[in-house]
């Protein structure tokens, strides 16, 4: 049996975020593990039944996760940190979220997406064991519904390449001890009746060394030659496989799934690979990362190119559908836009339709409406740079008069149940504009008073009126549409609704000025204006793909620039323009980096130029390998850059020694419920001032506080302020 039509994965949070709600109730002690596991089981089974009824030939399983599929793989092979006294389920969550006496594993972006995975920590003494049964359990669970599935696993080489070595150790050196455990699992799946297993190796969409390619050769010759195994489908996605294509084509595997969307020219490489003649090639011609409908004739042409190249040709998505929302039919959007969209459910239908057409069945390949809109010319201001930093720093210190090691937060404060209820009532029309604004102003005033009581030096208004750092701005800019149900998992229980950027971008009116002005009127301390930068607006939206990203970024930058200037005119002397996605959009191939940095840096500088030397520009970046983008961060020319550093144990400090501007390496992890002690924060600060001149160090958490509760935030910030004062005193 061939793969035929399939998808490489499917959303797992639930159409109405059922998993999010179950997780958060479990963590809060409101439900027990039995109820949590039942919620997950219901979601899995709903997905399998939906995919079966849609007509897919092969249905994936083991794509559900209670938190993260890389974390699941670590648990499966017995490398989670032990936590005495905790159940297996709570040990799993401890690695993801931390516990009071032990921090969580580092979290970073899954390749160039906005999904975050947990980074396994492996050392020379790591011993793998087949400690879990999740893939087998879920396969058997689906069989009770009469559904045969294809278990999906992170491939062994990608798993090790994404892991973190302790003490300079290279996790890939563990490959020969990991492969037998994969072979054990394949044997168990074979004995249970599994026909196909999918092994994901997306790491080879990036540049890889000779040693890493040799590891791929070794892995799939070992696994492919196992005597008792299911058929092996290896999936490469997020781009072309480069030299990995030839390696996998020659390996003793049975099928190869290739991404023919991210780089359409990759189809030529696949078509020219003679070693594929004994394999099925599953053509990823339906975009798994964006929400536009597939052009069926264009997609079919790419898939049909592989006839005669491979033993058989199937159809799939370019990657897992984890990265798109569930179902566009639930949305109340302009019909002209909605007709051009496909979410996960619609993409499954596209795969089935294309598969039927590829088999020669008579189907209606309806043309896709052209989504191009008239483009207004982006007139660039002459000022796209600022005077030298030393001149600006002197003007800013004279204006702001901040102490050494100034303390601040990244922007958002916890969104209480009262705030969320008020926003929901306003959205539903049961709370009028005046009452809503009064409620939000009361919350801003409360947050400002709290920050003054805590002793912070630079305050924020707390962002109670904002649902999300991208969606809020999308709702105020022309050219964007927002959804009601278009949720996508970012990590764990954290979900976002990416806006849809479908037309020319413009700012009809100021978006944040009234809130910042009001907060500043309540205090004599400086209040930061808080904006989202142009690169992140693109990265965390579904962006039109009919024009270069650089051109769209310029339009967004001009809108943000207008807001920066209006904030300055309103008396706001610090403006933070966040770019947490700067590293995320970095192409996986080094040959494409230069062009990306050119337009990304240009867009940020355009958005933040043309202002007074005394107005201080901040930016924030998170969950990245900063050494890879340090030159670009420097080129942004922000006066202060705050950086996630807590989960990586401040490893970023080794990259910051020569950084010539203000920097705030995050000193505590806000994605964990644990409260750091003042001594812990002080130790982090001492490390920071040992790597960066103290005159340039800021003290802040590593990200916004929206997802935390005040019971955690208040003591953590008190400890942060106390630690800053302690280290200030030590510096004299």
Q: Which residues are catalytic?
A: 671
DSSP per residue over 173-211, as a string? GGHHHHHHHHHHHHHHHHHTT--EEEEE-GGGGS---HH
Instruction: Output the six-digit token pair for 212.
Output: 């890493």
**E strand or H helix that includes residue 680:** helix 678-691
What crossing angle do the helices spanning 88-97 and 69-76 adopt, rounded to 10°? 130
3-state helix, strand, coil split of the chain in percent (to 5) is 45, 15, 40
Contacts of 511 (CB under 8 A, 6+ apart): 472, 473, 476, 477, 563
**Quick one: residue 401, left, alpha or beta (phi over 0 = left, psi -120 to 50 = alpha)?**
left
Look at phi and psi of residue 171 and say left if phi exceeds 0, alpha if psi is from -120 to 50, else beta. alpha
Tell me the C-alpha distance between 580 and 537, whole Å: 10
- CA distances in angstroms from 574 to 293, 396, 638, 706, listed in the order given: 42, 9, 11, 21
* Alpha-carbon separation of residue 377 from 3, 115, 507 (angstroms): 47, 33, 15
Phi-psi region of 14 (alpha: psi -120 to 50; beta: other; left: phi over 0): left
Residue 490: closest CA among 8, 1, 12? 12
User: In terms of residues, how long is the chain?
Assistant: 732
Q: Which backbone phi and psi does 374 adopt, to 5 degrees?
A: -60, 135
Q: Is 479 left (phi over 0), alpha (psi -120 to 50) or beta?
A: left
Nearest CA-CA partner of 544 in 319, 380, 351, 374: 374
Give the residue ranges of DSSP H helices in 55-133: 69-76, 88-97
CB-facing half-sphere around the CA of 639: CA atoms within 13 A: 27
H/E run at residue 219: helix 210-224
- Helix 296-304, helix 344-358: angle, nearest 10: 50
> How many angstroms from the chain centroid is the CA of residue 664?
22
Element (H, E) at 137: helix 134-143
- Contact (Cβ atoms closer than 8 angstroms) between residue 204 and residue 244: yes
> 3-state DSSP call for residue 80?
coil
What is the H or E stretch that residue 592 is in? Answer: none
Strand order in the sheet with 640-643: 528-532, 574-578, 616-621, 640-643, 662-665
Contact (Cβ atoms closer than 8 angstroms) between residue 525 and residue 570: no
Q: Are 573 and 615 in contact (CB under 8 A)?
A: yes
Give 149's strand partners: 59
CA dihedral (346, 351, 355, 357) positive or negative: positive
Closest of 622, 619, 663 to residue 646, by C-alpha: 622
Specify whether the CB–CB gap between 64 and 12 falls below 8 A.
Answer: yes
Angle CA 17–333–299, to nearest 5: 85
- Smallest Cα–Cα separation from 156: which of 230, 217, 95, 93? 217
């Amino acid at each position: 049996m061939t793969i035929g039509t399939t998808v490489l994965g499917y959303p797992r949070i639930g159409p109405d975020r059922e998993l999010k709600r179950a997780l958060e109730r479990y963590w809060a002690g409101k439900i027990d593990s039995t109820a949590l596991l039942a919620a997950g089981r219901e979601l899995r089974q709903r997905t399998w039944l939906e995919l079966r009824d849609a007509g897919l030939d092969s249905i994936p399983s083991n794509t559900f996760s209670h938190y993260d599929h890389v974390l699941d793989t670590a648990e499966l092979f017995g490398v989670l940190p032990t936590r005495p006294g905790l159940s297996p389920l709570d040990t799993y969550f401890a690695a993801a979220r931390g516990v009071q006496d032990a921090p969580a594993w580092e979290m970073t972006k899954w390749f160039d997406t906005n999904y975050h995975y947990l980074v396994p920590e492996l050392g020379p003494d790591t011993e793998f064991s087949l400690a879990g049964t999740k893939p087998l359990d879920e396969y058997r669970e689906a069989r009770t519904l009469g559904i045969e599935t294809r278990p999906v696993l992170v491939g062994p080489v990608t798993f090790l390449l994404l892991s973190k070595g302790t003490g300079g150790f290279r996790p890939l050196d563990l490959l020969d001890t990991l492969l037998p455990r994969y072979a054990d699992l394949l044997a168990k799946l074979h004995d249970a009746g599994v026909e196909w297993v999918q092994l994901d190796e997306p790491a080879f969409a990036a540049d890889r060394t000779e040693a890493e390619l040799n590891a791929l050769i070794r892995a799939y010759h070992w696994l492919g030659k196992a005597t008792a195994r299911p058929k092996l489908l290896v999936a490469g996605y997020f781009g072309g496989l480069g030299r990995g294509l030839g390696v996998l084509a020659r390996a003793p595997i049975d099928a190869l799934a290739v991404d023919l969307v991210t780089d359409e020219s990759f189809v030529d490489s696949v078509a020219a690979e003679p070693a594929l003649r004994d394999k099925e090639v599953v053509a990823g011609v339906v975009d798994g990362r964006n929400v536009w409908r597939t052009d069926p004739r264009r997609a079919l042409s790419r898939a049909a190119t592989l006839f005669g190249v491979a033993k058989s040709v199937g159809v799939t998505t370019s990657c897992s559908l984890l990265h798109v929302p569930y179902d566009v039919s639930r949305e109340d959007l302009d019909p002209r836009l909605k007709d051009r969209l496909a979410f996960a459910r619609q993409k499954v239908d596209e795969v089935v339709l294309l598969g039927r057409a590829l088999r020669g069945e008579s189907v209606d390949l309806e043309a896709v409406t052209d989504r191009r809109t008239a483009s207004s010319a982006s007139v660039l201001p002459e000022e796209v740079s600022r005077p030298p930093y030393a001149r600006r720093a002197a003007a800013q210190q004279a204006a702001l008069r901040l102490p050494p090691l100034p303390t601040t937060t990244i922007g958002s404060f916890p969104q209480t149940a009262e705030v969320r209820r008020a926003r929901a009532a306003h959205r539903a029309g049961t709370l009028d504009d005046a009452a809503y604004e009064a409620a939000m102003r009361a919350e801003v005033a409360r947050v400002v008073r709290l920050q003054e009581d805590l002793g912070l030096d630079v305050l924020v208004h707390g962002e109670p009126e904002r649902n999300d750092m991208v969606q809020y701005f999308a709702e105020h800019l022309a050219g964007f549409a927002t959804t009601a149900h278009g949720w996508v998992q970012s990590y764990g229980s954290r979900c976002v609704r990416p806006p849809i950027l479908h037309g020319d971008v413009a700012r009809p009116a100021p978006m944040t000025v009234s809130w910042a002005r009001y907060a500043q009127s309540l205090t004599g301390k400086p209040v930061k204006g808080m904006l989202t930068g142009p690169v992140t607006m693109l990265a965390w939206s579904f962006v039109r793909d009919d024009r270069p990203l650089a051109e769209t970024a310029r339009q967004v930058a001009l809108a943000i620039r207008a807001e920066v200037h209006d904030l300055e005119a309103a008396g706001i002397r610090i403006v933070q323009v966040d770019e947490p996605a700067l590293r995320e959009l970095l192409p996986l191939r080094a040959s494409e980096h230069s062009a990306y940095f050119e337009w990304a840096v240009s867009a940020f500088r355009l958005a933040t130029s043309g202002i007074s030397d005394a107005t201080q520009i901040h930016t924030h970046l998170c969950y990245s390998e900063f050494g890879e983008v340090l030159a670009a961060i420097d080129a942004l020319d922000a006066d202060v850059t705050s950086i996630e550093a807590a989960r990586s144990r401040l490893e970023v400090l080794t990259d910051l020694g020569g950084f010539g501007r203000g920097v705030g390496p995050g000193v505590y992890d806000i994605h964990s419920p644990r409260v750091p002690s003042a001594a812990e924060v002080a130790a982090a600060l001492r490390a920071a001032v040992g790597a960066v001149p103290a005159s340039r160090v800021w003290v802040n958490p590593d990200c916004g506080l929206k997802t935390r509760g005040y019971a955690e935030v208040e003591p953590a910030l008190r400890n942060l302020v106390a630690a800053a004062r302690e280290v200030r005193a030590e510096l004299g």
